[in-house]
A and B are shown apart, each in its own frame.
Chain A
Amino acid sequence: EVQLVESGGGLVQPGGSLRLSCAASGFTFSSYWMSWVRQVPGKVPEWVGDIKEDGSEKNYGDSVKGRFIISRDNAKNLLFLQMDSLTGEDTAVYYCVRDLGYCSGRICYSVYDSWGRGTLVTVSS
């Protein structure tokens, strides 16, 4: 069974930093793109970014680019989200997501088939 368990959330002051982790199990972690999605409770989810299987490619949403870094440790089946220069607008539940991926011919699609339960990040003084 695929399991994704986020940790590291909590209360942090504006301007501070936080590092989230996601422990993956039940599948070959190193074979999948992984993503982070965040959501203010009651609001629309926001895509944060993703990372290729081997960590060689990373992409970020506009609101976090230059402040957040996604990384992974395939030996330990861990995904990370380093968040710096945090503001109140970063307050949200952060989800770790597996991209199952689906390719038809030369076109590949993102398939966000497995999600963690999320970890809450609150940025406040």
Chain B
Amino acid sequence: AIQMTQSPSSLSASVGDRVTITCRASQGIRNDLGWYQQKPGRAPRLLIYAASSLQSGVPSRFSGSASGTDFTLTISSLQPEDFATYYCLQDYDYPLTFGGGTRVDVK
């Protein structure tokens, strides 16, 4: 199975900060990657698909990029509602696999 290594596992940030989260795939996955946000007690919410396409209704402060097997989720200016856990998910090959998650909390 394709391994997705996500970093950092946690970070502390303030409102207005620029936040960057990375996932590295164990092999090439083209751009077959999505980013999800999850808050406690809730289901994951899709933010980005196909590495860089913004899901409808998601604020434009969220963006995704790719470089080889490295994928990045950027929050340009962190808002109070963005404190949550973020996961990447590769859909290049079965079984689909998630990254280990990044918890973003208040500094």
| Residues of chain A at interface, number, CB under 8 A | 22
Complex formed: what's the CA distance from A118 to B49 in Å?
Answer: 22
| Residues of chain B at interface, number, CB under 8 A | 26
Residue in B closest to A47 when the chains form the complex, CB atoms:
B96
- On chain A, the residues within 8 Å of B89 by CB distance are 45, 47, 110, 112
A44→B87 contact, CB < 8 A: yes
Complex formed: what's the CA distance from A107 to B31 in Å?
Answer: 10
Q: Does B19 contact A (CB under 8 A)?
A: no
B30→A107 contact, CB < 8 A: yes
Given A44-B87, A45-B87, A102-B53, residue A111 in contact with residue B98 (CB < 8 A): no
A44→B101 contact, CB < 8 A: yes
A111→B49 contact, CB < 8 A: yes
- On chain B, the residues within 8 Å of A68 by CB distance are none
Given A47-B97, A95-B43, residue A110 in contact with residue B1 (CB < 8 A): no
